[in-house]
């Protein structure tokens, strides 16, 4: 029996009223969805399965849709290269001459840097692995600035990974599927990045507002920034590694300090996703686990003034060697591993010859002085 | 005359609006400028509210809003709420709208766009804690206004298609 034939079939409800009820129901559903959204938390579980499924579909289709654009772009570049080959050749020769001068400076500076690192036993950050990906979709409205890249969890990408172009920082990964990842750009209203001014070391929070030039908020100090200052990631809060190029400080029309992003100079095609999660991954876990811990004390430790490994001011009647503070410096710089090694050194001097397993640990203090990256 | 089928006046335009939005997410820069990003969904939304009352239309608006959130990577629920506010306003004003001239309808469409973008701006302000830039919003508003011929085409085609709502 159909609905029309039943006794309720005679009930007539004005369509306008039922449409209004449908509107209210849809509104309640929309509000509930808005309340439960947590995209700004950058947690993997906050990026729901619906979004993951949608991105999983959008990425391959977007790749197909953007293919003609890439072909046209490559064709235009080819034509431009043909017609402007002479002027480009002149420009490149000029740049090469400048680069040669900079290369000599860089070699000298690198040499000095390595010697300083040797002297200070400074531990530098190891290189961070990265994944290259192609951008297949790009949203650029005032409310959401994101890109979809065609590398996902299968390539080792995780939520929170920083993303760079050839020129500078682009943003960070806010959601990952198997084959795609959604990148929140620095210009999005939900983006907050700790940065520093290269010249003054002043800290600020780079705050996106949907415009092309994100704002420098919470700047501290007197005249901390000037027009043209380089802005880098500060590494504060373990969000990004320190020193990634972000852009150049500019004064906005509203009088606020803003940043002209380096990544804007580049075409929107390829990005590099740095597989950086936080600073704990920079520590060599294997080395920490293998390090020789000091044996438990069998007798009360001797007073520091009579210890064999520490020069005594009263016994020698001389000031301590000048090198002593330099040995302590790495411990202050690297709180995780060096303190343990510093603690092992005096203990080994008073104990029998080390076991074979202790040999790497005995050599360990020399490792931080290896050339960086 | 048979009643107007929802596939013709709701599902079809909805898919076209989503497809147009999707096409404009292609990463392309021409002479350093990026493609415009109009809110295509506002055109069918305006037409649906004018053509006739419908139970399905609000849910189609909800689906279009969710599609925008997915395509643009914004907060889920931002565009559904913003679009439903605009739809509700035009739907409430429908008795006075029907039969108006094209420029007047365009003005009402501009009002609906302003309402939706204003609501999205407020939601963005509350959700992300940052103030979305007004200049960017104005550009998106102007680009969306240019999508009115799509709404006008839908109104002209379907307004008289169902004899019960003439």
pLDDT tens by residue, A74-107: 888 888 888 889 998 999 999 999 999 999 999 9
| Cβ neighbours, 10 Å, residue A311 | 13
- Position A238 scores a pLDDT of 78
- Chosen for mutation from B20, B63, B73, B83 (greatest number of chain A CBs closer than 10 Å) is B73
- The complex's ipTM works out to 0.87
- How far is Cα A30 from Cα A28, in angstroms, rounded to an integer? 5
**Residue A292 confidence (pLDDT):** 59
- The range of the structural domain enclosing residue A266 comes to 125-277
Whether A325 has a pLDDT exceeding 80, the answer reads: no
pLDDT at A11: 63
Kindly determine whether residue B27 and residue A69, on different chains, have CB atoms separated by under 8 Å. yes
Report which of B25, B153, B60 is spatially closest to residue A66, judged by C-alpha positions.
Answer: B25
- Residue in B24, B19, B106 with CA at minimum distance from that of residue B64: B19
The least confident of A43-52, A299-308, B13-22 is: A299-308
For residue B158, tell me if it sits in a domain: yes
| Residue A194 covered by a domain | yes
What pLDDT is attached to residue A321?
Answer: 42
Show the domain range for B65.
6-165
The rounded mean pLDDT for chain A is: 76
- Confidence grade of residue A345 (pLDDT, cut at 50, 70, 90): very low
Residue A366, pLDDT score:
36
Tokens 């469409």 locate to: B109
So what's the pLDDT on residue B1?
53
Residue B95 touches partner A, C-beta closer than 8 Å: no
From A14-18, A75-79, A164-168, A362-366, the region with the lowest mean pLDDT: A362-366
Domain count, chain B: 1
- Return the pLDDT at A320: 42
Number of domains in chain A: 1
Look at A140 and B70 and tell me if their CB atoms are within 8 Å. no
CATH number at residue A147: 2.40.10.340
Closest chain A residue to B37, measured at CA: A141
Look at residue A202 and tell me if it is in a domain: yes
Q: Note the pTM of the prediction, 2 decimals.
A: 0.72
Task: Please write the tens of the pLDDT for every residue from A134-171.
Answer: 998 888 888 888 999 999 999 999 998 999 998 899 99
Judged by average pLDDT, the poorest of A188-197, B8-17, B72-81, B120-129 is B120-129
- Residue B1 domain-assigned (yes or no): no
Q: Is the pLDDT of residue A232 over 50?
A: yes
Q: Is B118 on the interface with A (CB under 8 A)?
A: no
pLDDT higher than 90, residue A307? no
Confidence band for A332, pLDDT divided at 50, 70 and 90: very low
Report the alpha-carbon distance of residue A32 to residue A275 in Å, rounded. Answer: 34
Non-local CB neighbours of A340 within 8 Å, separated by 6+ positions: A288, A291, A293
């Amino acid at each position: 029996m159909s609905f029309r034939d039943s006794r309720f079939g005679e009930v007539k409800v004005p369509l306008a009223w039922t449409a209004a009820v449908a509107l209210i129901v849809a509104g309640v559903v929309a509000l509930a969805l808005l309340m439960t959204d947590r995209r700004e938390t950058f947690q993997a579980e906050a990026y729901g399965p619906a979004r993951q499924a949608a991105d999983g579909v959008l990425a391959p289709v977007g790749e197909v849709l953007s293919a003609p654009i890439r072909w046209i772009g490559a064709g235009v570049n080819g034509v431009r290269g043909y017609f402007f080959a002479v002027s480009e050749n002149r420009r490149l020769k000029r740049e090469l001459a400048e680069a040669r001068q900079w290369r000599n400076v860089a070699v000298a500076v690198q040499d000095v840097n390595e010697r300083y690192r040797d002297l200070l036993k400074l531990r530098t950050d190891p290189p961070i692995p990265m994944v290259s990906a192609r951008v297949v979709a790009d949203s650029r409205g005032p409310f959401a600035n994101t890109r979809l890249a065609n590398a996902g969890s299968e390539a080792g990408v995780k939520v929170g990974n920083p993303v760079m172009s050839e020129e500078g920082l682009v943003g960070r990964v806010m959601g990952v599927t198997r084959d795609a990842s959604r990148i929140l750009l620095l210009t999005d209203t939900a983006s907050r990045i700790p940065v520093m001014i290269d010249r003054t070391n002043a800290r600020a929070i780079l705050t996106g507002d949907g415009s092309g030039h994100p704002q420098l908020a919470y700047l501290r100090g007197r005249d901390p920034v000037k027009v043209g200052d380089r802005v880098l990631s500060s590494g504060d809060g373990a969000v990004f590694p320190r020193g990634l190029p972000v852009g150049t400080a500019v004064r906005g029309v509203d009088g606020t300090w803003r940043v002209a992003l380096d990544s804007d100079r580049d075409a929107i095609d390829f990005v590099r996703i740095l597989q950086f999660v936080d600073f704990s991954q920079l520590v060599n876990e294997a080395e920490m686990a293998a390090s020789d811990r000091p044996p438990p004390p069998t007798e009360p430790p001797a007073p520091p003034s009579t210890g064999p490994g520490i020069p005594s001011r009263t016994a020698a009647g001389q000031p301590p060697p000048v090198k002593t503070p330099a040995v302590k410096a790495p411990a202050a710089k690297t709180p995780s591993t060096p303190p343990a090694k510093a603690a092992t050194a005096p203990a080994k001097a008073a104990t029998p010859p080390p076991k074979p397993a202790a040999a790497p640990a005995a050599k360990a203090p020399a490792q931080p002085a290896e050339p960086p990256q | 005359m048979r009643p107007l089928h929802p596939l013709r006046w709701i599902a079809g335009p909805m898919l076209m609006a989503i497809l147009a939005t999707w096409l404009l997410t292609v990463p392309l820069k021409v002479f350093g400028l990026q493609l415009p990003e109009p809110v295509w969904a506002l055109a069918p939304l305006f037409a649906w509210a004018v053509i006739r009352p419908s139970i399905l239309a609000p849910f189609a608006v909800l689906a279009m809003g969710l599609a925008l959130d997915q395509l643009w990577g914004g907060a889920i629920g931002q565009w559904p709420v913003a679009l439903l506010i605009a739809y509700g306003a035009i739907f409430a004003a429908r008795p006075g709208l029907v039969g108006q001239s094209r420029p007047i309808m365009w003005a009402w469409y501009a009002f609906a766009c302003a309402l939706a973008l204003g609501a999205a701006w407020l939601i963005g302000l509350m959700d992300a804690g940052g103030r979305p830039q007004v200049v960017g919003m104005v550009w998106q508003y102007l680009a969306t206004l240019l999508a009115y011929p799509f709404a006008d085409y839908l109104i002209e085609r379907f307004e008289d298609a169902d004899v019960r709502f003439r």
